[in-house]
Amino acid sequence: MDFGLRLTVASALSLAPLGPLTLRLAHLQVLRHEALSERAEGEFSRTASEAAPRADITDRKGRVLARSVPTWSVFLDKKMLKDPAELGRKLGPILKVAPGELERKARASGRFCWLKTGVDFPTAQAVQAARVECVGLTPSSQRVYPNEGLARPVLGVVGAEGKGLSGLELSQEKRLRGKPRRLELTRDGKGRAIHRDVAEDGEVPAPLKLTIDRNVQYIVEEALAEGAGAHAFKSGYAAVQDPRTGEILAMAAWPPNPLKNPLVQDAYEPGSTFKVVTALAAVEERLVGPAETFSGEGGKWQIAPGVTITDHEPEPDMTLAQILERSSNIGIAKVVERVGPARFFRAARALGFGLRTGVPLPGETAGDLKPFSDLGKVGLAASSYGYGLSVSPLQMLGAYSALANGGTLYEPRLLDDGTAPEKVRRVASERAVGELARMLEAVVDHGTGQPARIPGYRVAGKTGTARKLDPLTRKYSQKAYVASFAGWLPASAPRWTILVIVDEPTKGSYYGGLVAAPVFAKIGRRLLTLEAVAPDRPAEPAPDRGAVAAARRVASVPPPLRRAGR
């Protein structure tokens, strides 16, 4: 065989495998090019989304009430783990978890497990420094409330998945969440990122600014907690509103529950604080003269056969102002007879009762206010002093704010979005509201509301003490009361409307004037100091023991209606 032939055969033999290889290459590169490219792309490229941190919630002055902070979750990939006991020994003290617990997790079935979630930066750093095999860190986010329990019924709570479950966290979910950023990541064989492109810009939401004032909120919560200590009540609510704008400055519930806001979601029978509605209707329609008197009926008045309305003390003849001062049920029932159901209902509706206020919180109740024309004489009389109907604390606060500011009902504002206050309607003439405001000042100066007095300042307000309806017997309880006080200060130029409601006080007294009014006064004093408001009345001595005793006498609560023979 000559050299040329041998060379040809050798070449042919060595090149022979190239044929199938070329065919295979052509098959892969030409026919399956697209599918394989995609697969290769998938191996090394990945689309990831980076969630925007949930927006901060701040008070009216920009002080943080809720914030999302980055946290880390520590995980274990057990595939290469050799010594679970060592893992427990090393990480237990760092993660503050019992070493045995970590070891148990490491020995459990499954390749992956979380060792601990929501760890802070120093802990994450310590975990990294420990260099424990098969342990990794992944970033996450946690919602924190730097002021702890402050305003939690308003703020609400965020679930483990980062979604709002109650309060503003729920109602403002869309606003707080923002938009996640999408990233295109190129990774190496070990999954480490080499390069990343921003595929879609995210949106970090701006802080949500509230009308709540952190300091006012603290003052209210502290006063409520002190009241709870003094009177051992089952629960208590208090709120502060700026009557000039309708802005809610504080909203507190005791005991605090972040899952529920009773000031918005619950309704209660208001008792005597509702007498202002009857009085307003009478004054607005000029149905009662300033000097006109109504008989006190010696403390018992049979309104219908077998039905008696009682006052605790026999009262003499009273003007409308004195009826409010002494919180006389008989007096106000006589006034409502003259007012009539239609005018009374109109006044109640004008003040916002029976209608949702529109506050941006979930689960708001409208209360229960049926047309009074359906009630009959007895029902109408009971309604005139706040029985047989229910209102939400927020409605009551708004109504008193309308009386404080001269007669304009504002939508309660909780979000400070820079827009002008929303006027709902004019509730009555300036004359009528002014007249009623003077009567409510007299309630604090001479009547049942004396414990709400603040030396040097003019205060207006009304007490309320209502027996609770027993849901089982459908009768009014002889032991359980709701004590309340609603009012505003300083009366010369109202800046704060304050509502205090105490549910079932069990220690000491149960009268609104003696349980709720002192809480009101405490809040009022602190607010006046906080804002350094100049006194609007010459200094005078604080109410003496005699005045408190008088308050106790006139604030006593007879049953709303007494039926003969029952």
Partner 1 sequence: MNFDAGTAAKFGVGGFLVLFLCWQHVSATRLGYRVAQARKEIQRARGRVETLRLQVDQGLSPGALAAEAGRRGLIPADPDSLRVLPGRQGPIGWLTRLLARVPEPVRSALSG
Which residues of this chain interact with partner 1, rule CB under 8 A? 61-64, 67, 69-72, 120-122, 124-125, 139, 144, 146-148, 150, 186, 188, 192-196, 214-215, 217-218, 222, 454-457, 525-526, 528-530, 532-535, 539
Distances (CA, A) of 271 to 128, 344, 521: 62, 16, 20
Q: How far is the CB of 261 from partner 1 (least distance, A)?
A: 20
Among 458, 451, 456, residue whose Cα is nearest residue 500: 451
Give the total residue count for the chain. Answer: 566
Q: Count CB atoms within 10 A of the CB of residue 305.
A: 7
476: enclosing H helix or E strand: strand 475-489
Among 65, 63, 115, 68, residue whose Cα is nearest residue 94: 115
- Report how far residue 189's alpha carbon sits from residue 103's, in angstroms, rounded to the nearest whole number: 30
Residue 22 or 529 having the CB closest to partner 1: 529
Residue 255 or 358 having the CB closest to partner 1: 255
Q: How far is the CB of 218 from partner 1 (least distance, A)?
A: 4
Helix (H, G, I), strand (E, B) or coil at 549: helix
Helix (H, G, I), strand (E, B) or coil at 399: helix
Q: How far is the CB of 528 from partner 1 (least distance, A)?
A: 4
- Report how far residue 448's alpha carbon sits from residue 547's, in angstroms, rounded to the nearest whole number: 9
Residue 179 or 525 having the CB closest to partner 1: 525
Give long-range contacts, CB 8 A cutoff, 24+ apart: 203-206.
203/52, 203/178, 203/179, 204/52, 204/53, 204/55, 204/178, 205/52, 205/54, 205/55, 205/175, 205/176, 205/177, 205/178, 206/55
Q: How far is the CB of 351 from partner 1 (least distance, A)?
A: 30
Residue 146 or 508 having the CB closest to partner 1: 146
Residue 93 or 139 having the CB closest to partner 1: 139
Residue 152 or 467 having the CB closest to partner 1: 152
Q: How far is the CB of 292 from partner 1 (least distance, A)?
A: 38
Q: How far is the CB of 94 from partner 1 (least distance, A)?
A: 16
Q: How far is the CB of 314 from partner 1 (least distance, A)?
A: 38
> In terms of DSSP bridges, do strands 247-254 and 235-242 run parallel, antiparallel, or are they unpaired?
antiparallel
- Report how far residue 247's alpha carbon sits from residue 239's, in angstroms, rounded to the nearest whole number: 11
Residue 27 or 195 having the CB closest to partner 1: 195
Residue 379 or 455 having the CB closest to partner 1: 455
Q: How far is the CB of 557 from partner 1 (least distance, A)?
A: 31
Q: How far is the CB of 64 from partner 1 (least distance, A)?
A: 5
Residue 468 or 526 having the CB closest to partner 1: 526
At 391, give phi and psi (nearest 5°): -135, 160
Q: Which amino acid is at 136?
A: G
Q: How far is the CB of 200 from partner 1 (least distance, A)?
A: 18
Q: How far is the CB of 124 from partner 1 (least distance, A)?
A: 7
Among 104, 107, 99, residue whose Cα is nearest residue 82: 107
Residue 120 or 470 having the CB closest to partner 1: 120
Residue 195 or 425 having the CB closest to partner 1: 195
- Report how far residue 528's alpha carbon sits from residue 452's, in angstroms, rounded to the nearest whole number: 14
The pair of structure tokens assigned to 120 is 């802070």
Distances (CA, A) of 438 to 259, 292, 483, 485: 40, 16, 23, 17
Q: How far is the CB of 467 from partner 1 (least distance, A)?
A: 35
CA angle 119, 125, 129 (to 5 degrees): 130
Q: For residue 202, is it left (φ>0), alpha (ψ between -120 and 50) or beta? A: beta
Residue 128 or 293 having the CB closest to partner 1: 128
Q: Count CB atoms within 10 A of the CB of residue 21.
A: 10
